[in-house]
Chain A
Amino acid sequence: MSSHTTVRVRIRLFARLREIAGSGELAREIPAPADAQAAWVALTQEFPALEPYRAVISCAVNEEYARFNASLEDGDEVAFLPPVSGG
């Protein structure tokens, strides 16, 4: 049995997602092997009100846009981004 049964990631949330979770930065351990989708699922179990956002959010891993199947390693930062409205 590997000692790496979980990966520890930093989850970043912004705008409405941040308000729903009550924090813009969370440290969580999720089962390995993990991807961004697994981190999102873990998050929605903790904060069910986030769940409806899955269809419209983007994600980023280590400050680069990524797909939800992007794998996560120990120490990675995964960010979930609601639809953007800059300008």
Chain B
Amino acid sequence: MAGQAASSPSEAAGRETPFRVTFEPLDVVRTAQAVTSPDCGAVATFVGLVRDHNLGRPVRSLDYESYEPLAVKSLERIAAEAAVEWPGARLAITHRVGSLQIGDASVVIAAASPHRADAFAACRYAIERIKQIVPIWKHEHFDGGETWIEGATADPDDEAARRIALERARQ
């Protein structure tokens, strides 16, 4: 359980809180610094960006909304799941909410591990699980209208969904 011990509150003191929902612009380095430690040989990062098109239509901007307390707990849950799959891997995840423009970072994931393979896998797993179980919603403004994007029915106990995330992480 070395991975969990290393992310204890005392050891993380003075660092970025590892799981956050924020209205502020994201900082990849700060998120990565929340998970790095001397036993890490690798930190894999993922940055999700607001894209200028979706479903064949031009996108102008996105508004993100969250149920923040449950979103943070869901991010913590994803990290706990990843620590079981890849012992020694640690995650930090920051998701931005509010009004975002094209090119803005909406989510930053940092996965630290003694070895790179586990860092990449845990990072991929995290983004797949975020899209399945974290209560955050996109409201898309496109040329000619706006709509809520509705993806997955959130159910953290849905093992079939979790296995899909796991398979993608292990590709």
A interface with B by C-beta (< 8 Å):
12, 14-16, 18-19, 56-58, 60, 63-65, 79, 81-87
Contact = CB atoms under 8 A, between A and B. Distances in A.
A15 B106 contact: no
A58 B150 contact: no
B70 A64 contact: yes
Given A15-B137, A63-B73, A65-B155, A81 B131 contact: no
B136 A85 contact: yes
A58 B48 CA distance: 25
Contact of B150 (A19, A79, A83): A83
A81 to B, nearest CB: 5
29 contacts: A14-B66, A14-B135, A14-B137, A15-B137, A56-B150, A58-B135, A60-B67, A60-B70, A63-B73, A64-B73, A81-B135, A81-B154, A82-B137, A82-B148, A82-B150, A83-B151, A83-B153, A83-B154, A84-B131, A84-B132, A84-B136, A85-B138, A85-B152, A86-B64, A86-B107, A86-B130, A86-B134, A86-B136, A87-B131
A60 B150 CA distance: 18
Contacts, number: 89
Nearest to B77: A65
Nearest to B69: A63
Given A63-B73, A86-B64, 6 more contacts: A15-B137, A56-B153, A79-B67, A87-B106, A87-B107, A87-B131
Interface in B57-106: 64-67, 69-71, 73, 95, 106
B78 to A, nearest CB: 11
Contact of A84 (B69, B73, B137, B139): B137
A84 B118 CA distance: 27
Nearest to A65: B156
Nearest to A82: B150
A14 B95 contact: no
B127 interface: yes
Contact of B148 (A15, A58, A63): A15
A62 to B, nearest CB: 9
Nearest to A13: B67
A85 B156 contact: no
Interface string B144-161: 000011111111110000
